[in-house]
């Protein structure tokens, strides 16, 4: 995964280049305060619309331009919920390539009580994941398409093994 959302790109640029040089004052809202916990979310889409929606940013479920339209529903009997995720040290100090960070633990979603579905009824084939700053609603930080899509039907469990999710800044 190497795509940062527009939201995160702007926050990181402001934080890195404006926050400390006097052009912005502390607590002005322009700097970036990282969340204490980040969450991984699952998305279903048969085309490229989910990527475009995750890049641009609104979490509304009202239509195809909104990432909430593609996220697996938390209502009903699917048992879906975003899961907290943690990462090891970035770069060579963490045993990674420079500019890369990987998960340091396995993340298991609850066993599906029904076929996964989305608000946009885009199906139960998980095609994208995203890292968000909240367990519900919130902002997309990073997102990407899965190398291999995964169908999640009643009784299945979606799992991300330790070290198998990496994020790179290019």
pLDDT at 23: 52
pLDDT in tens, 44-97: 997 789 999 999 878 888 888 899 999 999 888 889 999 999 998 888 766 778
Query: Per-residue confidence at 26, pLDDT binned at 50, 70, 90?
Result: low
Is residue 95, in this structure, part of any structural domain at all? yes
33 pLDDT higher than 80: no
pLDDT at 17: 57
Is residue 4, in this structure, part of any structural domain at all? no
* CA–centroid distance for 6 within its chain: 13
| Contacts of residue 124, Cβ cutoff 8 Å, sequence gap at least 6 | 44, 115, 116, 117, 151, 152, 153
Average pLDDT for the chain: 85
Which run of H or E residues covers position 51? Answer: helix 49-56
Is residue 117, in this structure, part of any structural domain at all? yes
The pTM of the full predicted model, rounded to 2 decimals, is 0.85
Is residue 102, in this structure, part of any structural domain at all? yes
pLDDT at 133: 92
Is residue 20, in this structure, part of any structural domain at all? no
Cα–Cα distance, 3 to 128 (Å, whole number): 12
What is the domain range of residue 124?
A: 35-168
38 pLDDT higher than 80: yes
pLDDT at 25: 57
Is residue 6, in this structure, part of any structural domain at all? no
Is the Cα dihedral 90, 94, 96, 98 positive or negative? positive
Cα–Cα distance, 12 to 122 (Å, whole number): 32
Is residue 131, in this structure, part of any structural domain at all? yes
pLDDT in tens, 101-124: 899 999 999 999 999 999 888 788
Which run of H or E residues covers position 144? Answer: strand 140-151
pLDDT at 1: 67
What percent of the chain stands above pLDDT 90?
48
Identity of the highest mean pLDDT range in 18-27, 32-41, 141-150: 141-150
| Between 137 and 30, the higher pLDDT residue | 137
Is residue 96, in this structure, part of any structural domain at all? yes
Domain count, the chain: 1
């Amino acid at each position: 995964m190497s795509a940062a959302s527009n939201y995160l790109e702007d926050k990181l640029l402001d934080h890195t280049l404006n926050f400390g040089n006097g052009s912005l004052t502390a607590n002005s809202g322009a700097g970036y305060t990282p969340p204490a916990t980040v969450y991984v979310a699952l998305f279903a889409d048969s085309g490229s619309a989910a990527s475009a929606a995750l890049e641009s940013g609104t979490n509304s479920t009202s239509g195809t331009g909104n990432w909430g339209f593609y996220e697996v529903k938390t209502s009903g009997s699917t048992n879906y919920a975003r899961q907290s995720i943690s990462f090891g040290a970035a770069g060579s100090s963490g045993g990674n390539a420079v500019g890369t960070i990987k998960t340091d633990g396995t993340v298991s979603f609850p066993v599906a009580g029904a076929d996964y579905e989305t608000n946009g009824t885009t199906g139960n084939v998980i095609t994208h994941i995203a890292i968000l700053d909240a367990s519900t609603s919130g902002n997309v930080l990073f997102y990407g398409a899965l190398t291999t899509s995964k169908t999640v039907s009643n009784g299945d469990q979606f799992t991300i093994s330790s070290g198998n999710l990496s994020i790179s800044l290019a």
